[in-house]
Chains A and B, each alone.
Chain A
Amino acid sequence: MPEGEANQAQSPLFDFDRLAISSGRWAGVDEAGRGPLAGPVVAAAVVVIEPEGLSGLNDSKKVTPKKRKMLYGEIIARQLVGIGFADEKEIDSINILQASLLAMKRAVLDLPLSPDGLLIDGTFTTDLPLSQKTIIGGDAKSASIAAASIVAKVIRDSWMEKMEIEYPEYGFAQHKGYGTTLHLQALQDHGACVIHRRSFDPVRRVCFGSGTLSNHQSKKSRNYEN
């Protein structure tokens, strides 16, 4: 595929993947939604099997939402994609870092074919029995991580938009669960809903009247809805 190779050569993202991966098929892994006060953390794993299908890919953080959605469609049509969630209850019980690693693990296990190794954005590896490399700022260096980052972000945003229908008071379609002024005001007015992360300070303050509760107390009070 000479055309594909030309595209591949043009993108510095692909050079990185070639250097990092000496052999086999590796999956890029990234997650979206560590910061928000509500909803799941969503991870994606992508094995690039048709590089020519990723010609529009660049640093995923610089992509507009419309372009991101388009790239997502191309990725899902031509690459191997796995998706993993860890929900708000898991985040509250094992903490957000462990929950994002759990989501990543699920994303890898969700791949239709198992990869030879993982390129993971960030500094932490999963406990899967696979070769793993972590890359800080990986979505700007590796094409497979950039693709995973796009998939995770599009899926999470879209999922949160659907939550607008279930919980219309909070404006999830707008802020996707992030702690914007609008979201914090809605939390004050309506209290927390089922998908809020009760271990996150702004939510905890609303639920339990104080952000300074000790861990033990807050765990105990978590059983009570508002």
Chain B
Amino acid sequence: MRIKPAKGEFYLSLGDRGEMIAAAYLTEQGYQILDKKVRSPFGELDLVARKRGRIIFVEVKTRSTPQFGLPEEAVDLVKQKQITKLAEWYLQKNKIENASARFDVIALIYDGVSIPQVRHVENAFEAQA
């Protein structure tokens, strides 16, 4: 159980808020959220979702302004390899067999006040060995 009393200020980092918004967005789109913030010794998966029997690994990138490059551009080859490895680990750990997987990126631009812009890039990259 994750229930623990909140300590200090109720504050969400930009990244945490981005993940919350991305999860709500996916749910709106008919996805089922399987996991959030899956931690492993070699990194973290932001969101794992399912739709039509397909497992979707979602990397969420949040920026407060589009000025310094688009959020999805932050998912480079190194990051893609890391996510691929995490996905294999996740499927194995949860004994999910014969499921087709997909890698998506959700890019958010959010300034802390106005309604966030959400861009969902399906199949953003292929599995990288």
Please list the residues of chain A having a beta carbon within 8 angstroms of any beta carbon in chain B.
24-25, 47, 49, 53, 73-74, 76-78, 80-81, 83, 85, 108-110, 112-116, 128-130, 151, 154-155, 158-159, 162-163, 165-166
Contacts A74-B115, A78-B113 hold; do A112 and B20 have CB atoms under 8 A apart? yes
Having A109-B1, A110-B23, A163-B30, one finds 19 other A-B pairs with CB under 8 Å, namely A24-B6, A25-B6, A76-B24, A77-B21, A78-B113, A81-B20, A83-B23, A83-B33, A85-B32, A114-B3, A114-B4, A114-B6, A116-B5, A129-B1, A155-B24, A155-B28, A158-B29, A162-B28, A166-B30
Tell me, in angstroms, the Cα distance from A109 to B32 when the chains sit together. 16
User: What's the least CB distance linking A106 to chain B, in Å?
Assistant: 10
User: Would A154 and B28 count as touching, CB distance under 8 A?
Assistant: yes
User: Would B21 and A115 count as touching, CB distance under 8 A?
Assistant: no
A-B contact count (CB 8 A): 73
Closest-by-CB residue of A relative to B17 is A112
Which chain B residues border A155 with CB–CB below 8 Å?
24, 27-28
User: Would A77 and B115 count as touching, CB distance under 8 A?
Assistant: yes
User: Would A113 and B12 count as touching, CB distance under 8 A?
Assistant: yes
**A-B pairs with lowest CB-CB distance, top 4:** A162-B30, A73-B115, A158-B28, A113-B6
Contacts A25-B10, A155-B28, A162-B29 hold; do A109 and B2 have CB atoms under 8 A apart? yes
Closest-by-CB residue of A relative to B111 is A77
Which chain B residues border A159 with CB–CB below 8 Å?
27-28, 30
Tell me, in angstroms, the Cα distance from A74 to B19 when the chains sit together. 16
Instruction: Choose from B3, B12, B19 the contact partner of A128 (Cβ within 8 Å).
Output: B3
